[in-house]
Chains A and B, each alone.
Chain A
Amino acid sequence: ETGVTQTPRHLVMGMTNKKSLKCEQHLGHNAMYWYKQSAKKPLELMFVYSLEERVENNSVPSRFSPECPNSSHLFLHLHTLQPEDSALYLCASSQDVTAGANVLTFGAGSRLTVL
C-alpha cells in the first residue's frame, strides 16, 4: 500500500461506546496529524506528532485521546463522545513539521457518526 491509509472509513457509535480510528502512512514521513472536518467549516487541527512525540494539542476535549506508537502509525481513541463530534476525521503526514513547503498528504478520512 502507498500513501496514507485510514480505517475504518465509516463508524457509527453511541455516546457510551469506546472506539479507535487508525492511520498508517507508507511515505517515510516524520510528522503525523489528526484533523477534524465539519461541513462548511475550516479544517480543525487536533493533534500533531513529530518523530512520535506530541508537539501540538489544540485544546481538544479529553474524550479524544491520540496515540503514536511509531512514526508510521497514529491512532485516535474515542470515548463518551457527543453528537457534535460527528464529523470527518482526517489523518495526514508530512516530511517534517516545519521544513520547506511541508506538503501534507491526507488519508481519505473516517466518517464518524455519534448517536
Chain B
Amino acid sequence: GQNIDQPTEMTATEGAIVQINCTYQTSGFNGLFWYQQHAGEAPTFLSYNVLDGLEEKGRFSSFLSRSKGYSYLLLKELQMKDSASYLCAVRDSNYQLIWGAGTKLIIKP
C-alpha cells in the first residue's frame, strides 16, 4: 500500500531551527507538497518539490531525495506563529495526493 510517515509531534524553541522529516512509499511520484495548518484554520501551501535538492523560500526550506523516498521541511529562526501542524503529501503516478497524518509543531519561548 501507499504510505507517508512523519512524526506526530515535535517541540522546538523560539529562534531555533527545526527539521520535520517525511518518508514515503507510493506508486510512482509526481511531486511532494508541504502544507501548514494552524489550529482551526485552512491548510495553506508552503512548498513543492519534484526534483531532488533543496528549495528555499525565506525562513522555510524543503528538501527532496527521490531515491530515498525522503523529504524534510526546515524552519529557521522559529517564531511563535510557526506553531502549527505541517502536512506532507505526495502525488502518485495517478496524480492522486497521498497525505501524511501531519506533524504538530510546538514552539516554546
Residues of chain A lying within 8 A (CB to CB) of residue B101: 40-42
B44 at the interface (CB under 8 A from A): yes
- Most chain B CB atoms below 10 A, which of A4, A40, A43, A90: A43
Number of A-B residue pairs having CB atoms within 8 Å of each other in the complex: 45
Q: Is the CB of B100 within 8 A of A97?
A: no
Nearest B residue to A107 by beta-carbon distance?
B42
Determine, out of A11-19, A69-77, A98-106, the stretch whose residues face the partner at the interface: A98-106
Task: Determine the interface band of chain A, counting residues with CB < 8 A from chain B.
Answer: 10 to 19
- Number of B residues near A (Cβ < 8 Å) is 24
| Nearest-Cβ distance from residue B90 to partner chain A, whole angstroms | 11
- Please measure, in the bound complex, the distance between the C-alpha atom of A4 and the C-alpha atom of B44, giving whole angstroms: 11
Give 16 A-B contacts (CB < 8 Å), ordered by A residue.
A40-B101, A40-B102, A42-B4, A42-B98, A42-B100, A43-B87, A101-B33, A102-B31, A102-B91, A103-B33, A103-B45, A104-B35, A104-B45, A104-B97, A106-B42, A106-B44
